[in-house]
Structure 1
């Protein structure tokens, strides 16, 4: 199993279960939203006279879908669209997203719990009507829509190796009903054959054969259903939507064999797995994470875009963010999204943000982290400068020294530094040597004020374009942990964070060897094995972590903080009891 396959499996579990165009097209206005198919079939949507027709050229049409967003954890959530914690989808919700600049929406739908049995596999009419209502709201907003079959991929389609005929019959029956229901919808509606397809107990050769069979069957069913489906854009995934070269090559072979110019390749991307989930000590968007991203986009471009086949990254994000905003340090996540937007733009790929409620608050109709969304939105059209960190720590007491950060201009030019509305003076408040920005001791001392623990000031490094880079000046002391007793259900370690922030946890047995679910690295996964609670003043060791420990063995924990501080702690499990101590 590759790192990306592990990441895909990990993401399915956290869900409650176990291409664009060159910048010239944007400048020409091609990315304004479109509506009908134009010369090969008009739909009945009310926007038909208000927006340009969907291009006959698939590359241009897919470019018009950029940027996109996923309605995650709603219609893919099983028996009810609110069962995974999201509110019922409303037109106002889609209106708001459209107003934020999105041009497309992927609507994942899981049909399993709304289907009757063989031989017809009839889809419940009320559910199909509800899906159509949401699709029509999006189309009325001028959005492109991508509709698929989602968790069906592992719920029943994955059994194809051992139950081939029944799976194929159900797959074709499902798509026959979907295609028939939506056959006269406008060209802004696209179909995606299946989400993250996988096949139980198969080798790579059989997996490739079965996916080719599903994609080919999907193409045949939709094209023969008539209406606007005759030339509707159809999206075909790689195995598990993984962007590995061999899997892309298999998909390229399928697309070539179908002789259809209106096919779109799909992969998903959640970043370099250790960084994306904050494990193995990969806390930063470093060279390894940057290289992984660059290679994925180059493969997508060279395999498909360069040969005239458009690409969508149907889902992207950072896996650790699904568990909460502390899973990946915010500044490192900002750098990830800034780089991702640039890579998508320069490689001609259309992307759709995976959002299961982590980003957009669907009840309050606003972004949970407005600054993060500003960074995403800026990346759609330009680059932004960043820095080696967005955190500068100063001691709670004693002398405050100069602090130096390395700027990453990203082909912009540094223009200056501000504290609120006050422009800081170069030479007096800070110095700049190449890309090394040094904040002077006197300036930091002034900004820190009484040095009460926490953020004392927020600076803005301004560049010639893009979003300013925010730098938090934080007063801190080395965190203090206290003794604790708990059960294997979980242990909460009382913690005085004293202004600091937890980066990662290293775990080793006293007699040697790594301790924890990840036995191949001492650095355990943030949130999966441990989790800080800043308002509750504690660090929680999870059941997953504690269950993995050897009974009676002393475990040495080293907590690494963003200030650079390291604090050692000791844990021993005896039966169902866990004791933690500072010595």
Structure 2
């Protein structure tokens, strides 16, 4: 059992960031703030409409729907092309089901109102006819009801034309529909999310909610958190609350009920809530993403997510599911290096299982936002080898405590943040943009932060505030969201990530909290 005074993830961390050769920053000029279609998308209805323009990205190619040659005339072919942020790649899904290109004032149109396979798609004067009506499915399909066929890319290379074809659920028919916001915060779902906070070392404690030293979560706590943060991540460890093992791996109903109580408190405060599988993975726990362990890991993972999805299906779109925390080999093998080829295949399989299981439960889970995770939640090699499942409303979870020499108390024990090391967390954000947000896949940094250390007879909380607001601000320009780690430990020294004093229900570090709220907007 882990020490009750340390978060299991935090005290095992090593300064792998300092050993990494960092990639050069991705050019920012070509990056538009992107994210997947809104959680309000409902398959087959006009409620799938977004009210602001954004890109439509092919999930097979990673390229954007584009007006050929930036043309604006009737009959201009619609194709896919490298995403470049130009007006030729801006689209607005409207309430009547039409897709408008604001730059030309024309709509995506099936040529001559055709219904046959292979009929090409063009720009044409918006006229409200059936040839210009589209529905957005939870699987990412854009369907033309008049023909019963789907928008289809005839290839994945630049200039591949778009056509309609029998709906097959294939990657070349799966699209990420984005709508930008005035603040650059992503589409109408993600633009609602601002500052995020972790209820760490409570439901994720492996021996019970209070056994790592935190009091039981109360509604006054949640109410106070909601005054500064509108996204709360509730890490959850399930293995100690199962009443049966294989093959059902049944979760204790009383544990579900207690978790739901806290989830509902947060949602009643208009917060967005993220629940996950946390310390069931890592160390010598059962969720081991390696080829040799999958015969045990996969059935338990599937059984657990099926129960979670069914139990919470009645919750609206303010509840998000996150597949795993920092999945890793037994004893944490190569977690901070991003894993090996023995891990990447199993991780991708588990993430796909997660999406399949949740979507199969139907109801609100058909369009609920799902968050997938690379090996170790690693923002470099782990992220490089993550395959994001196809379909709408899927985001990526990553972690950064970079540089660990500032975020922890380990040598050289940096105490101040003067900007000279900005390039280290920026490297993580840039890589996430290159891989995901530039392709329309939202990123949420579900953990980041730094412990508060002794400094000049007091503490360095002001320096921590600068560090954390830099990450928040830098990530924000790409539409990436940040969720600060809070383990409830509010002293000074090792593993003191606490911002909220959960006993007195007062902010222990109001300077950090206020700075994060301002930076997130």
Aligned to 1:363: 503
TM-score using structure 2 length? 0.60
Distance 2:289 2:503 in 1: 37
Distance 2:376 2:445 in 1: 12
Secondary structure of the 1:162 match is helix
Shift of 1:350: 0.6
Secondary structure of the 1:99 match is coil
Matched, 1:247 2:382: yes
Matched, 1:205 2:341: yes
Secondary structure of the 1:69 match is strand
Secondary structure of the 2:203 match is coil
Shift of 1:250: 1.6
Structure 1: stretches of 5+ with no match in the other structure: 1-6, 15-23, 43-54, 382-583
Shift of 1:67: 1.4
Distance 1:312 1:298 in 2: 13
Aligned to 2:308: 178
* Residue 322 to residue 65, structure 1, CA distance change in 2 (3 Å): farther
Contact 1:278 1:328 in 2 (8 A): no
Aligned to 1:348: 479
Aligned to 1:304: 436
Shift of 1:64: 2.0
Identify the match of residue 215 of structure 1 among 351, 358, 362: 351
Structure 2: stretches of 5+ with no match in the other structure: 1-5, 14-31, 46-175, 180-185, 489-497
Identify the match of residue 465 of structure 2 among 334, 345, 348: 334
Aligned to 2:425: 293
Shift of 1:134: 1.3
* Residue 346 to residue 374, structure 1, CA distance change in 2 (3 Å): same
Contact 1:277 1:328 in 2 (8 A): no
Aligned to 1:536: none
* Residue 10 to residue 170, structure 1, CA distance change in 2 (3 Å): closer
Distance 1:356 1:9 in 2: 10
Distance 2:353 2:456 in 1: 41
Distance 1:291 1:9 in 2: 27
Aligned to 2:193: 65
For the pair shown, which has the larger CA radius of gyration, 1 or 2?
1
Contact 1:283 1:328 in 2 (8 A): no
Contact 1:105 1:144 in 2 (8 A): yes
Identify the match of residue 165 of structure 1 among 279, 295, 304: 295
* Residue 304 to residue 160, structure 1, CA distance change in 2 (3 Å): closer
* Residue 38 to residue 168, structure 1, CA distance change in 2 (3 Å): closer
* Residue 208 to residue 134, structure 1, CA distance change in 2 (3 Å): same
Determine which structure has the larger strand proportion and give its number: 1
Q: Which gives a bigger RCO, structure 1 or 2 (Cα 8 Å, sep 6+)?
A: 2
Aligned to 2:213: 85
For these two proteins, the number of residue pairs brought into alignment is 344
Identify the match of residue 112 of structure 1 among 230, 239, 250: 239
Aligned to 2:374: 238
CA displacement, residues 545-578 of structure 1 (integer Å, 9 cap, x when unaligned): xxxxxxxxxxxxxxxxxxxxxxxxxxxxxxxxxx
Identify the match of residue 40 of structure 2 among 37, 40, 52: 37
Secondary structure of the 1:209 match is helix
Shift of 1:209: 0.8
CA displacement, residues 507-538 of structure 1 (integer Å, 9 cap, x when unaligned): xxxxxxxxxxxxxxxxxxxxxxxxxxxxxxxx
* Residue 62 to residue 323, structure 1, CA distance change in 2 (3 Å): farther
* Residue 159 to residue 339, structure 1, CA distance change in 2 (3 Å): closer
Secondary structure of the 1:347 match is coil
* Residue 142 to residue 324, structure 1, CA distance change in 2 (3 Å): farther
Contact 2:415 2:455 in 1 (8 A): no
Please show how residues 117-516 of structure 1 align to structure 2 within 5 Å: 117-154=245-282, 155-158=285-288, 160-200=290-330, 204-244=340-380, 246-251=381-386, 254-255=387-388, 258-281=389-412, 282-286=414-418, 289-318=421-450, 320-321=451-452, 329-357=460-488, 358-381=498-521
Distance 1:187 1:205 in 2: 35
* Residue 237 to residue 10, structure 1, CA distance change in 2 (3 Å): closer
Aligned to 2:63: none
* Residue 10 to residue 228, structure 1, CA distance change in 2 (3 Å): closer
Secondary structure of the 2:273 match is strand
Distance 2:202 2:217 in 1: 8
* Residue 195 to residue 64, structure 1, CA distance change in 2 (3 Å): same
Distance 1:240 1:323 in 2: 30
Distance 2:392 2:315 in 1: 20
TM-score using structure 1 length? 0.54
CA RMSD of aligned residues (A): 3.5
